[in-house]
Amino acid sequence: MRQGKLFFEEMAYQRLDKGKDPLVTLAETVDWRIFEEPLRAFRESLRTTGSPAGRKPFDPLLMFKILVLGSLYNLSDDAMEYQIRDRLSFQRFCGLSLEDRVPDAKTLWLFREQLTQAGLVEFLFARFDEALRQMGLEARKGQIVDASLVSVPIQRNSREENRQIREGNPPQEWSETKSRQKDTEARWTVKNGKSTFGYKNHIEADVSCKLIRRYAVTPASVHDSQVFKELLDLGNTSKDVWADSAYRSASHLEYLRQVGYREHIQRKGTSGHPLTRWEKQGNRTRSRIRSRVEHIFAAQKQQAGTLLLRSIGLARAKARIGLRNLVYNLQRFTYLVTQVYVWA
């Protein structure tokens, strides 16, 4: 009976391979041992003294891979539990068989919460970036800074409640249950005439590999320029910096000059001083490089569709967005390797 099940699984996997399952390449190309040590150390730190009786906890690397899948396809924890049980490609990526126990949605939520509270997503992102540099994929040819909006479910509050939230004093009359369901740290912003409620993913990517090297997460109302300096990667082999006109200010230009960077920031006109023909031509020239960062945001949305966070609060937003940035780097690394990218 067991042999029959193994034969069935093998035949099913062969059919998947004919369709060129992309998760196989991701699973085989990435050295997941990069994450295994810190995840196991993290799990050990959560252990409490007491009886060893009870069901054995899931392997932390398995749990991390499931979170990677959930981020890659923008799935809720409930949907993730169902898809792992239903899809052979997901099971194979996680190293599970049809008979293996699958973490339920509550277990996935708890594991993510623990990662969030420990700030481990940021650490894992930095650890993979360090591994990339050790493999020869260092940041080269300059860097590009930009930001993208990430939506969260809209809060239905009164004007007075919104005023109190903006002032940092959530309504005291809210019950504990209602307070847990309200995101008081997300903010509204308007871009290109469209209003968005949520957070902002600020990233810095290198020009050569188009990998995200640094990131920051803020409420959507925070202007792009406010996190410009902290995103700059001093380890990039080039001093060239590209950014759109939102980052152009006298203070930023002076800072770049002082630290020896060469700025390639888009110019912006005003009602009284429109851009000259030469300035417009300069913007077009800079856009040839700067537009590479738009490919990153497009890639993040292409696989998962509209990026909508299913979480409440800035800390959870940082963890989820940080994980999405890490997942992008995992995919990008896989592409670079499979395309025989020459980085010497």
**DSSP classification of residue 247:** G
Phi, psi of 210 (to 5 degrees): 60, 45
Same domain, 313 and 189: yes
Same domain, 165 and 212: yes
Q: What pLDDT was estimated at residue 97?
A: 87
d(C-alpha 265, C-alpha 229), whole Å: 14
- B/e letters for 146-172, b = 16+ CB within 10 Å, e = fewer, are bbbbbebeebebeeebeebbeeeebbe
Q: Please say which residue of 71, 89, 118 terminates a domain.
A: 118
Task: Say if 49 falls within a structural domain.
Answer: no
Task: Say if 301 falls within a structural domain.
Answer: yes
CATH code of 288's domain: 3.30.420
Q: Please say which residue of 118, 150, 171 terminates a domain.
A: 118
Same domain, 151 and 274: yes
SS3 148: strand
Adjacent-strand bridge partners of 143: 206, 241
Same domain, 96 and 236: no
Q: What pLDDT was estimated at residue 68?
A: 97
Q: Which residue range is the domain that position 32 belongs to?
A: 2-44+57-118
Same domain, 242 and 321: yes
Same domain, 266 and 327: yes
Reported in sequence order, the residue ranges of 207-322 that DSSP labels E, i.e. its strands, are 212-219, 240-243, 262-265
For the chain, how many structural domains are there in total?
Answer: 2
Q: What pLDDT was estimated at residue 154?
A: 86
Q: What pLDDT was estimated at residue 9?
A: 58
Same domain, 76 and 111: yes
d(C-alpha 300, C-alpha 308), whole Å: 12
Same domain, 149 and 31: no
Same domain, 288 and 214: yes
Asked whether the beta carbons of 293 and 196 are under 8 A apart, the reply is no
Q: What pLDDT was estimated at residue 189?
A: 94
Q: What pLDDT was estimated at residue 280?
A: 92
Q: What pLDDT was estimated at residue 142?
A: 97
Task: Say if 22 falls within a structural domain.
Answer: yes
Task: Say if 261 falls within a structural domain.
Answer: yes
Adjacent-strand bridge partners of 242: 144, 264
Give every CB contact of residue 147 below 8 A, 6+ residues apart in sequence. Answer: 200, 201, 202, 203, 224
Task: Say if 133 falls within a structural domain.
Answer: no
> Which parts of the chain sit beneath pLDDT 50?
1-2, 4, 49-50, 344
Q: What pLDDT was estimated at residue 344?
A: 46
Same domain, 108 and 186: no
Structure tokens, 203: 């990233």
pLDDT digits (tens, 9 = 90+) for 56-81: 889 999 999 999 999 999 999 999 99
Same domain, 174 and 319: yes
Task: Say if 324 falls within a structural domain.
Answer: yes
Q: What pLDDT was estimated at residue 1?
A: 45
Asked whether the beta carbons of 105 and 132 are under 8 A apart, the reply is no
SS3 176: helix
Task: Say if 93 falls within a structural domain.
Answer: yes
Task: Say if 127 falls within a structural domain.
Answer: no
Give every CB contact of residue 84 below 8 A, 6+ residues apart in sequence. Answer: 66, 69, 90, 91, 94, 96, 102, 103
Q: What pLDDT was estimated at residue 49?
A: 47
Identify the CA nearest to 132 among candidates 326, 319, 296: 326
Same domain, 216 and 69: no
